[in-house]
Structure formats: structure tokens, C-alpha cells
Amino acid sequence: MNGYNFAYLDEQTKRMIRRALLKAVAIPGYQVPFGGREMPMPYGWGTGGMQLTASILGSDDVLKVIDQGADDTTNAVSIRAFFQRVAGVETTTATTSASVIQTRHRIPEAALSHGQILVFQVPIPEPLRFIEPSEQETRLMHALEEYGVMHVKLYEDIARYGHIATTYAYPVKVDDRYVMDPSPIPKFDNPKLHMNEALMLFGAGREKRLYAIPPYTRVESLDFEDHPFEIQAWDECCALCGSETSYLDEVITDDAGNRMFVCSDTDYCMTRRGEVA
Amino acid sequence: MLWPGLTDPVHDSQRLFRQILQAMSEPGTLHNLDLDAPPEVAPIGAALWGALLTLCDLDTRVWIARELDTPALREALSFHTGCRLADDPASADFAVVTPTTLHTEIAFATGSDEYPDRSTTLLVSLDSLNDQGPWQISGPGIPERRWLDVGDGEALMGCLARNHTQFPRGLDALLACDARLTAIPRSSRIEKCLKEDRSCMSQ
């Protein structure tokens, strides 16, 4: 596309983000501040993820973009079209053939492989933010590894509901040091963060923070001995592909109370239906 | 003779960055950086030159160790990247060093507890670099463990191992010999394995 540098961002911005990414990878789970740029869409639509994608993307990459697991929702379609236009890269919906996957709020069901990069869009990077509004204080809490308050928050769930009621953006501890917000992925996806073969990068555009989990890194979800971490489970299976192991969305089908459960990962569901058919 | 820059600055720096990113996220893996090498007489090889071209610009300060400091390197760096050269190692974003440099204690920036990212990245020029050797590294990015041979590496690995004990503060290092490059970030645990008894000594 004429008038723009390859992948939209100018080279100086890319270098600044690249230097920050190297620090993020060297300190897994630590939030590195970066000079976030205005992107041609509003905050909250994945400007952080897009800036990371633009900084790592090359002309031989194959890009996949998902929004809540789906390739065909507004956010995914427009970001995919954006990079097609400003970088001319090949795009795909198949998880296994993508080299870079930008995601909003899901980790694909198909196992990621070595060499793939998963870029998360993050709204609020600070896991302690709802407990402590001051950035200075939360920085200090991370510095001192002062994470007791996070356990108190989870314990309050147990005291009130009898179980940990946090179902998404469930806090994790990376390599036994930093408590990190895995972005609003369902806690169903948390176990996939642990020792994943792919490099995982997180970008928050409004908050101007980025962080990373290198491949093969220990990632634990916070829990208690007597209330161990558990993922969601459903009595139903996917109404389209019959999967009993994937993350399911509940879809209301009429106004008489009828509903169905379908895979949130559209590529996984379509692939399975292809196999079944 | 003027040192060569990147033929295609946009795509070459992207390609080199991805290799450096992979090296940093999978410590101990070797990567061959493909670019025009600096002249024979240059104190650094192609991989370190590639890393400097990829990562430096007018926002960065580079510190050069005395044994590598030549007018040609300074001139090439200013011409191709526009980076500033630092006299004080504590203010450097990148430091170009050799293992010999690290025999003496140099006060590079290691960041603060609140902002550990404000630290120097070492660019270490090595005489040899192989993935079979006495130095065992483990930690994030490494499935179990990897081994490295960095030539005469006692001072270098000692420095990097001490560095890990200050985590999250610390230095990250890109190690390079000619076109070959690997990385040891501060998150890596380093041990020396003696061949005879296979036992590991923690540094």
C-alpha cells in the first residue's frame, strides 16, 4: 500500500517495541512500558496486540487473527484485513498453518507448535489493578513479590460462593516470580500457558505495557491446597462437531428459551466437522 | 572502507530481529544471521553487527569496550544507526564487550526492582561458540537444559551466573561468534558441568 511503511508502523517505532520485547522475554511476566502509538482504530479493539504484530511481522509470515476463538467476527476480520492491506501478508484461518496468531481472549484449541508466535490483545495488563489502583503501588508490590492480596481476593470468592468464582483473566504466576494477567482468556485456557511450545506476547495499547511468556516456561494458576485450580466443564458437547473437550459458547436460538452449545474456536470446530463428514 | 549496512533495512531488520527474539526466548539455541559482514579487520563479526543495526537508533546509547573500540566501528555505528556512544557504562542500553572485558567489574545498568527492564544488554564478541560444551543452562525458554561452549568463558559465565541471583534485576546477553548468535537472558540458570564426573557446580 502506498504511503505507508511495511506493516503500518515506522521503523523507529518498531525498533522501540522490539527492544522492549527482548526485555519482556528476558523477564517473563514482567510488564515493560513502551511508547504506544495511535493506531487507526479505537483503544479496546486490540491496538496493543496490533502494534506487537506490526513489529514482528515479516513478508513471509502467515497471519491468523481470532476474536473469542472465532476467525469471522468483526474484530478479527478487520485486523486481518488491515494487515493484508498494509503488509500484504498471507492470512489463514487454520491454526496449524499460521506463523503469527493475534488473539483476543482465547488460546486456540489445537496445540501450538514450536516457532509459532501468539500475540494477545490485553485490556488491563495489571492483575493487581482492581485491588490497588495506584500504578506506583502495584509496581512496588511486584518488586517486593508482595502477592498475598491476590490470594485474599481469591479467598473472598471462596468465603462468599464456596469456590473460586474468577472465570476469566485468572491470575497466573510465571516461572515462580511474577504474578501476571493472562488477558481475559477463560480459565479453561490457563493450563495451555504452561510449558507451551509457542512464544506468547501480550500487548496493552491503552496502558502501553507489553509482556511475554517464552516457550517452555512454567506458568501456574494461583490456587489453594484445599481449593485447587479447576477449569470449566460442560454437561453438553458441541452441537455442531460433537467435541466434548473444547471450550463451548452458549448460543440462544429463539425467544422460547432454546439454546445450543458450540465450540468457541471456529477453526477447531470446522476442522472436526470436516473430519466427521 | 565503509562498513556495509542492511541491504533492505525494513525486511532485513525484521528478519534479523525475529532471529534475535527467538534466541532470547530460547536461550542457548544457535542462530546464523545472514547479512553482509563488516570488513576482515573489524573487531566484531557479522552477527553482532547485525544486532547493532537491528536494535540501535538515535534513542539508544552504546558503550564500547576498550579492546573493541576502533574509529571505524564508531564511525560505522554513527553513520548507519545514529546511536549515541556512552562513556558511562551505567547509562548504556547496549554494551559491546568481549569476555576479557568482564574480568574487571564494570557497573552496567541492571535496572531497579520496580523497573528491571532499564538495564544494559551485553553484546559479547566470542572467539568460539558451540552448542556442545561445559556450560549448562536451564530456565524459561529451555525444555530441560541446553549446553554451550563459549571458549574462555569463566569470567563471562561467572558474571552472567551472578547476574541471575539478582533477578529480576540484571543484564541480558547476546553472545556471538562471526555470524552465529545465541542469547543468555537474566532468567537463565547457569551451571558448569565437568566432563569427568558429569556433576554440576553451581556458579
Asked whether residue A206 falls in the same domain as residue A272, the answer is no
User: What does the pLDDT read at residue B202?
Assistant: 57
Residue A125 has pLDDT above 90, yes or no: yes
Q: How far is A201 from chain B (nearest CA, A)?
A: 11
Characterize the bridge pairing of strands A172-174 and A219-221. Answer: antiparallel
The parent domain of residue A162 ranges over: 11-221
Interface of B with A in 99-138 (CB under 8 A): 112-117, 119, 121
Residue A4 lies in a domain: no
In this predicted structure, the answer to whether residue A224 has a pLDDT above a threshold of 90 is yes
Contacts of B60 in chain A (CB under 8 A): 19
**pLDDT for the residue A182:** 97
Q: How far apart are the C-alpha atoms of A57 and A14, rounded to whole Å?
A: 10
Number of domains chain A is built from: 2
| Catalytic-labelled residue, pool A29, A48, A49, A203 | A29
Task: Report the residue from B26, B55, B116 with minimal CB separation from A215.
Answer: B26
Do residues A264 and A69 lie in contact, with contact meaning Cβ atoms separated by under 8 Å? yes
B185–chain A nearest CA distance, Å: 5
Q: Regarding the domain delimited by B19-202, which CATH topology (the fold level of the hierarchy) does it fall under?
A: Rossmann fold (3.40.50)
Residues A202, A253 within the same domain: no
Q: Are residues A254 and A159 in the same domain?
A: no
Check whether residue A71 and residue A194 sit in a common domain: yes
User: How does residue A226 score in pLDDT terms, banded at 50, 70 and 90?
Assistant: very high
Q: In this complex, which of B22, B93, B185 lies closest to A26 when CB atoms are compared? A: B185
User: Which residues lie closer than 8 Å to A12 by C-beta, 6 or more apart?
Assistant: B57, B58, B59
C-beta of residue B170 within 8 angstroms of C-beta of residue B110: yes
Same structural domain for residues A261 and A206? no
- d(CA B116, CA B153) in angstroms, rounded, equals 25
CA dist B122 and B92 (Å) reads 10
Q: For residue B183, how many C-alpha atoms fall within 13 Å in the half-sphere facing its CB?
A: 29
Cα–Cα distance for residue pair A200/A219, rounded to 1 Å: 12
Domain ranges of chain B: 19-202
Q: Give the DSSP H or E segment for B21.
A: helix B9-25
ipTM at complex level? 0.96
Give residue A78's pLDDT: 95
Residue A146: give its domain's CATH number: 3.40.50.11310
Residue A140 has pLDDT above 90, yes or no: yes
Q: What is the pLDDT of residues A51-88, one digit of tens each?
A: 999 999 999 999 999 999 999 999 999 999 999 999 99
Give me the amino acid identity at B6. Answer: L
Whether residue A150 sits in one domain with residue A267: no
Q: Do B185 and A19 touch (CB under 8 A)?
A: no
Report chain B residues whose CB lies below 8 A from the CB of A139.
114-115
Where is pLDDT greater, at B79 or B2? B79
The sheet carrying A178-180 orders its strands as A178-180, A172-174, A219-221
Mean pLDDT of A28-46: 95
Please tell me which residue in A48, A203, A205, A269 is annotated as part of the active site: A269
Tell me: the pLDDT tens digits for B26-81? 999 999 999 999 999 999 999 999 999 999 999 999 999 999 999 999 999 999 99
What residue type is A182 in one-letter code? Answer: P
Interface of A with B in 178-207 (CB under 8 A): 178, 195, 199
pLDDT in tens, B95-116: 999 999 999 999 999 999 999 9
**Taking CB atoms and an 8 Å limit, are A56 and B60 in contact across chains?**
no
Q: Is position A6 within any domain?
A: no
Q: What's the rounded Cα separation, in Å, for the pair A211 and A67? A: 20
Integer distance in angstroms from the first to the last C-alpha of chain B?
Answer: 43
- Is A237 known to be catalytic? no
> Residue A48 catalytic?
no
Out of A44, A241, A242, A257, the active site residue is A241
**Cβ contact, residue pair B117, A57, below 8 Å:** no
Quick one: pLDDT at residue B200? 61
